[in-house]
């Protein structure tokens, strides 16, 4: 993981007032990717059009088809009102934004072809490091694949913002499911405006720690994975509460998130130690500064 820590140190020395983008690195073998902007070395520093990856269709065909969804399971229709400030790929001014998420998608498909997974917890050490943005953009880019079913779940029962970003914070969510006040079919929502399905946080008077300790959590997460090609679960900060570990216990793997100018090596190492018993598929570094400012001028 020294390369990852070196990049964190380099980003920290660059200062937080510079133009920012996002990139991903390779703290684990066989998985190197970047997202939102190019900054790195080797293949990761090639232009998007020069990506050297296995044909996408071959990767998709290498993974067995999931069973057909149950009748009526495909979600309840609702209206969404996307947060206009949310930096989603559907609004990105630069095509390269979506292209780098495609590269991240390809790397995850390669990893999944080696060892299948259908559910991932997206975790970071601290707040404000880009988990929710990564969950939504990654979910959107996967949902653009033909016949690829994607579900995003707000597993942050304390301060989750997925429902707010989608403008559906009033809907029943994961807490309603865990309390027994709603069925799985009643908390999964869909909208014609976005290609993915979603489960929001919901509201409850019970403490999140107790709700996530409920034995049925694993059952519900497994059921979700049976009906979708990929389930992405947003989570609270790993170094502050134990919720991410509880969510990871019901999922197939973990995708780590760190942020340049913010995440320290110490905090990242602590997160890795906390999640060491689970399968870590890779890590994404958000807010990194690209080598060429001119190439990414105007890039968020």
- CA torsion angle for 81, 84, 86, 87 (degrees, to 10)? 130
Please give the pLDDT value at position 75. Answer: 77
Nearest to 33 by CA among 255, 252, 294: 255
CATH number at 210 reads: 3.40.50.300
Residue 132 lies in a domain: yes
Tokens of 166: 């989608």
Residue 180 lies in a domain: yes
Per-residue pLDDT reduced to its tens digit, 57-106: 555 555 555 454 444 456 778 877 776 666 777 666 567 778 878 989 99
The pTM for the full model equals 0.77
Whether 188 and 199 have beta carbons less than 8 Å apart is answered as yes
Q: What share of the chain is helix, strand, coil (3-state, %, to 5)?
A: 35, 15, 50
Residue 171 lies in a domain: yes
Residue 219 lies in a domain: yes
User: Which of helix, strand or coil describes residue 145?
Assistant: coil
Per-residue pLDDT reduced to its tens digit, 156-193: 999 888 888 888 878 888 999 999 889 998 999 998 88
Q: Where in the sequence is the domain holding 153, given as residue range(s)?
A: 58-64+73-261+270-279
Please state the domain count of the chain: 1
The answer, yes or no, to whether residue 144 has pLDDT greater than 70, is yes
Per-residue pLDDT reduced to its tens digit, 184-241: 989 999 988 888 999 999 887 788 888 899 889 999 999 999 999 999 999 999 999 9
């Amino acid at each position: 993981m020294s390369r990852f820590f070196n990049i964190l140190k380099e980003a920290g020395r660059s200062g937080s007032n510079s133009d920012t983008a996002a990139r991903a690195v390779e703290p684990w073998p066989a998985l190197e990717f970047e997202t939102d902007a190019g900054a790195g070395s080797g293949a990761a520093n090639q232009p998007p059009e020069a990506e050297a990856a296995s044909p996408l269709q071959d990767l998709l065909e290498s993974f067995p088809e999931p069973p057909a969804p149950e009748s009526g399971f495909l979600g309840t229709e609702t209206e969404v009102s996307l947060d206009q400030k949310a930096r989603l790929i559907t609004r990105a001014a630069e095509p390269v934004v979506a292209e780098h998420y495609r590269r991240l998608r390809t790397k995850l498909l390669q990893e999944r072809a080696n060892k299948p997974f259908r559910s991932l917890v997206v975790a970071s050490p601290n707040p404000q490091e880009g988990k929710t943005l990564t969950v939504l953009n990654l979910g959107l880019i996967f949902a653009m694949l033909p016949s690829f079913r994607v579900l995003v779940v707000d597993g942050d029962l304390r301060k989750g913002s997925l429902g707010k970003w989608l403008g559906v914070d009033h809907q029943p969510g994961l807490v309603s499911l865990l309390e027994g006040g709603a069925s799985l079919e009643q908390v999964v929502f869909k909208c014609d405006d976005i290609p993915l399905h979603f489960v929001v946080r919901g509201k409850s008077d019970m403490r999140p720690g107790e709700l996530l300790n409920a034995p049925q959590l694993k059952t519900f997460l497994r059921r979700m994975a049976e009906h979708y090609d990929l389930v992405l679960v947003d989570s609270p900060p790993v170094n502050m509460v134990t919720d991410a570990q509880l969510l990871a216990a019901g999922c197939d793997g973990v995708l780590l998130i760190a942020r340049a100018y913010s995440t320290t090596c110490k905090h990242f190492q602590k997160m890795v130690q906390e999640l060491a018993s689970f399968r870590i598929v890779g890590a994404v570094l958000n807010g990194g500064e690209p080598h060429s400012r001119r190439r990414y001028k105007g890039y968020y």
